[in-house]
Structure 1
């Protein structure tokens, strides 16, 4: 299952942890594809995305579970510039 598929599957604690494991594996295998290479840059990007998106509300995730919202937050640390 691809990383994005794992993200889409997050609904609870177990699927969130499955996503986090997949995100970790993705970092190890594909670090060159990550926009943010340091933990500082990763957290800055995730925080910037949260501010810019009003923490998911601009992406149709207002009613999503907190697990899904935090998974998206982490995913955006990988891709957000």
Structure 2
């Protein structure tokens, strides 16, 4: 469920825990899709596990909107930019990696 994913996101401290979060998200979304097939919900409400955005376009758009709405304008230094670049590449790789 989304609440479990939020807790997992708050526990991310390194690349390995970030990867685990992505794995948990994939499993949770897959579970929600199976539940949705068995018992469809209204298209105007969250899915059984709480997902509001069922397409990759909606998901990425909502993620970007949330990031902009909650961003802080702080320079965290060169190590942080490397971590952000790595996180960005991990997410983008989902578009093409098998």
Normalised by the size of structure 1, how large is the TM-score?
0.60
Q: Deviations over 1:35-70 (max 9, x none)?
A: 00111100110111111112xx3xxxx97x757xx6
Matched with 1:12 is: 14
CA distance in 2, matches of 1:8, 1:15: 10
Query: Which residue pairs with 2:38 in the alignment?
Result: none
Q: What is the CA deviation profile of residues 8-38 of structure 1, one whole-angstrom value per residue up to 9, with x for unaligned ones? A: 2210011111111001111011242210011
Give the corresponding residue for 1:78.
Answer: none
Q: Which has the larger radius of gyration?
A: 2
Choose between structure 1 and 2: higher helix proportion: 1
- Of structures 1 and 2, the one scoring higher in RCO (CA 8 A, sep 6+) is 1
Runs of 4+ in 1 over 4 A off after TM superposition: none
Q: Show structure 2 runs of 5+ residues with no match.
A: 34-46, 92-98
- Paired residues in the alignment total 62
What does 1:1-81 correspond to in 2, within 5 Å?
Answer: 2-31=4-33, 32=47, 33-54=50-71, 57=72, 66=83
